[in-house]
Copies of this chain bind each other. A is one copy, B any other.
Amino acid sequence: MAKRIFNFSAGPATLPLSVLEQVQAELLDFQGSGMSLMEMSHRGKIFDAVYKDSIERLRRIAAIPDDFDILYMTGGASTQFTLIPLNLKQSGKAGYINTGAWSKKAMGQAKILNMAVNELASSAESNHNHIPQIPAIPADLDYVHLTSNNTIFGTQFSDFPQSPVPLCVDMSSDFLSRPIDWSKMSLVYAGMQKNAGPAGVTVVILRKDLYARESAETPTIWRYSTFGENESMYNTPPTFQIYIFGLILKWIEDEMGGLQGVAAHNQKKAQAIYNVIDQYPDFFVGHARKDSRSLMNITWNYANADLNPVFVQESEANGMSGLKGHRSVGGLRASIYNAMSLAGCEELAQRMLAFHKQHA
């Protein structure tokens, strides 16, 4: 038996054990082919079936309408920060909602690409401890961009605005953690390394009419349509990541009850930890405002700041890792993406209660 710990890392993050076991079992000989999946041509029949199964499964699980394309790209959210302004620009004006470090990076790249950035709302003045109220979105923007979950600060949009212009959402840290209302979305993107796989593949789901905005003066590899027209195989895609992503989709569908099941599970997991914070608010100081709490990343400080490193150290000694908070918030952060079990969250909650008993 392999030793396994509870891994609360912000990403790359814990993956379902059953998926890892399947990857391990078929690593040397994929489906009797005599090759590892990672040794196969991306143009061959076997990988083609793996690719197609993953696309169909994602469309089914996330109820993605037919007028959206699903693209496998690379380069993470930081690459999308450039591709969105590059490919969606019309008048040259875009709206951004600033909920933290990643939103700010997205705005910075739009500015480099000569977009006039209209910061529609911001939570900067309170160190991003909440999701700001969003005013009516002006209809003369090329698009509006927001980050649905803020890994660093532990805040998350619970609902999305109705927008008269295309809404582009960075779901890097909460993709597939709950159902998605596609009637509000135009472009959704996410690196897979938090909820849905190892690092190295970025899923982009966009409404096909957006392709019409692209320019022939944009290099081929930077156009969304290049990926849309070539089933993401204009050049060699990260085949092994796509395969593992497919296994995780299967796990969501067969073992977790789809996105509804995942969402309920994630609610329960987060509640186990937030309950402890709420029980002793003078001891555990949560960073996120209650109405803005993330179900993916839970951030808190100990009122006595000396206790922060003590808890990190004790949890590590007890089979838990990755709990040290980001320097922007300090203290602790528990990242509890899809593959973190309820048992892991309950064990963390127990440890927090014991820590309170010992130090309060």
Interface residues of A (CB under 8 A from B): 2-5, 7, 9-15, 17, 20-21, 23-24, 27-29, 32-36, 38-42, 44, 74-79, 81-82, 108-109, 112-113, 191, 193, 198-201, 217-222, 234-241, 244, 319, 321-322
Contacts and interface: CB of A to CB of B under 8 A. Distances in A.
19 contacts: A3-B34, A9-B40, A10-B41, A12-B39, A12-B40, A12-B236, A24-B24, A35-B321, A42-B199, A75-B75, A78-B221, A79-B221, A82-B222, A112-B217, A198-B238, A198-B239, A198-B240, A200-B201, A238-B241
A218 B17 contact: no
A29 to B, nearest CB: 4
B39 A28 contact: no
A38 B9 contact: no
Contacts of A42: 12, 199
Nearest to A10: B41
A75 B78 contact: no
Number of copies: 2
Contact of A219 (B11, B23, B112): B112
A52 to B, nearest CB: 18
Given A9-B41, A74-B75, A75-B75, 16 more contacts: A7-B34, A7-B39, A12-B41, A12-B239, A15-B36, A24-B27, A41-B322, A75-B221, A79-B221, A108-B220, A112-B220, A191-B236, A200-B239, A238-B238, A240-B240, A240-B241
A33 to B, nearest CB: 7
- The main secondary structure of chain A at its interface with chain B is loop
Among A12, A23, A219, the most chain B Cβ lie within 10 Å of the Cβ of A12
A246 to B, nearest CB: 15
B33 A5 contact: yes
B3 A29 contact: yes
